[in-house]
Amino acid sequence: MKRNKRKSLLEPLRQNVVKRLSNTDARARRKLLLGLIIFIGLFLLYSFFSGTYGFVRIAKLHVQKHRLAEQNHYLLVRLVDAELTAKRLRNDMTYIEYIARTKHFFSKPGEVIYRFKQ
């Protein structure tokens, strides 16, 4: 069985362009090819450096990820230190006395506190 092939509306135009290109001289074809290569190159360059998946955006996200990892580490260290301090404040009377004497300048009866300027 033969199938009836439908020709698109653009088929005559496509054939006409192909005929014209085959009939033109080599210089015009080279210019057209060079223009096409430059256009594709510029498009690839633009898409490489801009947009959602561009090189610049990926580099910024990498820097932001590194900064957030450092901040996370810093906050984790502070959390562990705060938990240790809270545990010592609940259980260690000598630590409570140390804090009262150094930060709040409390003294036992009969003691004199001297403060030195540095």
pTM: 0.52
Q: How far is CA 18 from CA 13, 21, 23, 40, 45, in A?
A: 9, 5, 9, 21, 29
**Among candidates 59, 55, 31, 35, which has minimal Cα distance to 45?**
55
User: How far is Cα 44 from Cα 37, in angstroms, rounded to an integer?
Assistant: 10
Q: Rounded to 5 degrees, what angle do the CA atoms 39, 40, 45 make?
A: 100
pLDDT tens by residue, 58-87: 999 999 999 999 999 999 999 999 999 999
Rounded Cα gap, residues 59 and 53, in angstroms: 10
